[in-house]
Amino acid sequence: MSSRCCVPSVPNRKTGLHRFGFAFRANRQSSDRMETPPAPGASGQDAAKGIYFIAVSQFGIAFSFNCIMSFMPFYILRVSAYSESETMLWIGMIMGATSLVAALAAPFWGSLTSRVRPKLLFEGGILCNGVLFFIMGFIENLPLLLALRMIQGALGAISTIGLVLVVASAPKGQLPKFLSLFQNSMTAGQLIGPPLGAYAVALFGYHSPFIIAVIVVFFSLVYCHRYVRDIPLQLKKPEPGKPLSRRILWGWGLIIVGTIQLMFLPSILPHILEGFQLTEQAAITTAGSIMMAYMTTAIVGNHFLVSLASRLGLARLIAVAGLSAIALQSLLYFSTGIYTFTLIRVLQTGLIAAVIPLVISAFAGEGGSGTTLGFLNSGRFVGNALGPMMATTILAQFNLLTLYLTISGLTLVSLCAFLASLRRCH
């Protein structure tokens, strides 16, 4: 027997180190390519912390937008050089332009996540909005103000990017929880912004809320940059094109008209409060208080009704909440004073606000794709745009009763069609 066969081979040190180095470099390159999504455990906790700061940043953006919304109609009326009916149309266009352009731009922003880092897009959108808020505070020309609002919409559809960040960062099994957190952060901004903007106008004048908005946007940008985790490019997956089903389209339509119910009122509040014999200063602060009250019930109603979904079923809960909101929408015309008007409004928004996430849950619970959920979410942008435009256009030509019945009728048609499509599916 040869002695060489009995002696264990000793690897060449250089070769062994070379192999070790190759393996180390390969592992390091692999880890560089797989920075996220985080694994469960400690990294999952870090991701969850980052999602909370995504929500904080989104709250800041929602606050800034709504900080100026409560007094914007009054501001436009003050600086307008047009007739009352023409000014009413300008109010609708200026208040609805941002959301309308955002609805059109949202798919474009979503597609950019395959070429530009989502966190960088999110930060860029926040920064651009801050600059535009500052410029708007010193503009008194309505066409120019409309142009700035349209640019803000084109650059500001960043809630889509925030949604991408949340979906990519959420630990496994906790996505619904963090999507709810993201939605509530936007609602909270819509709740707190209007009264603070109205009180700032009453105390410091019309320019002050724009400055407040810029400050809030600045801190939102800082929190996002420091605490939100970056995620990889969201590469597109080749999928065969599938036509949108009727169920998805009717769900999208119901989300649009539900959002119209939520968002149509601020643009015509000066007209409504004038009918209640309020002075301009009292009307501004009252408008902020009314918006705060009904956005509060929107949060409470959303949380309470969604918690009942597992016991009552999605279809039944959507039907009850939707029909009740339709009835209350029509009853707004018969309010006899500011308190009865506010009471009907807060009950209405508490019900219709829950319909929107319930509709989205009907698809998410069945494993709806990101494309489907993104399409449904775009209904919010469309409703945000159409709400003030529809309200001011109809009111300029007809009256409040026509407006209220039109919104109720559209909601009823969309609700019945969506529920019928659910029954056919199941």
The DSSP code sequence of 334-393 is G--SHHHHHHHHHHHHHHHHHHHHHHHHHHHTTT--HHHHHHHHHHHHHHHHHHHHHHHH
First to last CA, the chain: 78
pLDDT at 176: 63
pTM, whole model, 2 decimals? 0.68
pLDDT at 167: 78
Specify whether the backbone of 205 is left (phi greater than 0), alpha (psi in -120 to 50) or beta.
left
Q: Rounded to whole angstroms, how far apart are CA atoms 361 and 314?
A: 8
Peptide bond into 37 cis (omega under 30): yes
The helix-helix angle for 280-307 and 175-204 (nearest 10°) equals 170
pLDDT at 144: 94
What number of other Cβ atoms are within 10 A of residue 2's Cβ? 6
* Candidate from 39-48, 148-157, 198-207, 297-306 with smallest mean pLDDT: 39-48
Q: Rounded to whole angstroms, how far apart are CA atoms 100 and 93?
A: 10
Higher pLDDT, 314 or 187: 314
- pLDDT over 90 (residue 142): yes
pLDDT at 361: 74
- Over the chain, what is the mean pLDDT? 80
Q: Where are the alpha helices (DSSP H) in 170-279?
A: 175-204, 208-227, 246-263, 269-275
pLDDT at 16: 43
pLDDT at 234: 66
Task: Express as a percent the part of the chain with pLDDT over 70.
Answer: 81
DSSP string of 254-312? HHHHHHHHHHSSGGGHHHHHHHTT--HHHHHHHHHHHHHHHHHHHHHHHHHHHHTHHHH
pLDDT at 41: 38
Question: For the residues 231-238, what does the mean pLDDT come to?
Answer: 66
Residue-wise pLDDT for 23-70, tens only, equals 444 444 444 433 444 434 335 566 677 888 898 998 998 888 888 877
pLDDT at 329: 95
- Exposed (0-12), middle (13-18) or buried (19+): which is 384, by Cβ within 10 Å? buried
What tokens were used for 384?
A: 């945000």
C-beta of residue 365 within 8 angstroms of C-beta of residue 306 = no
C-beta of residue 102 within 8 angstroms of C-beta of residue 296 = no
Q: Rounded to whole angstroms, how far apart are CA atoms 414 and 420?
A: 10
Higher pLDDT, 289 or 37: 289
Task: Express as a percent the part of the chain with pLDDT over 90.
Answer: 26
What tokens were used for 188?
A: 């909270």
- pLDDT over 60 (residue 147): yes
Cβ neighbours for 117, distance < 8 A, ≥ 6 positions apart: 230, 231, 232, 233
DSSP 128: H
pLDDT at 228: 87
DSSP 231: -
- Nearest one of 253, 248, 259, 250 to 417, comparing CA atoms: 250
- pLDDT over 50 (residue 131): yes
- Report the sign of the C-alpha dihedral through residues 419, 420, 422, 426, in that order: positive
Residue-wise pLDDT for 69-94, tens only, equals 778 888 898 889 898 888 988 988 88
Question: For the residues 410-424, what does the mean pLDDT come to?
Answer: 92
- pLDDT over 90 (residue 191): no
E strand or H helix that includes residue 137: none
- Nearest one of 175, 210, 158 to 377, comparing CA atoms: 158
Higher pLDDT, 330 or 97: 330
Higher pLDDT, 307 or 338: 338
pLDDT band at 304 (very low <50, low <70, confident <90, very high): confident
- pLDDT over 70 (residue 396): yes
Give the chain's domains with CATH numbers.
41-232 (1.20.1250.20), 243-426 (1.20.1250.20)
pLDDT at 270: 86
pLDDT at 170: 79
Question: For the residues 171-195, what does the mean pLDDT come to?
Answer: 75
pLDDT band at 9 (very low <50, low <70, confident <90, very high): very low
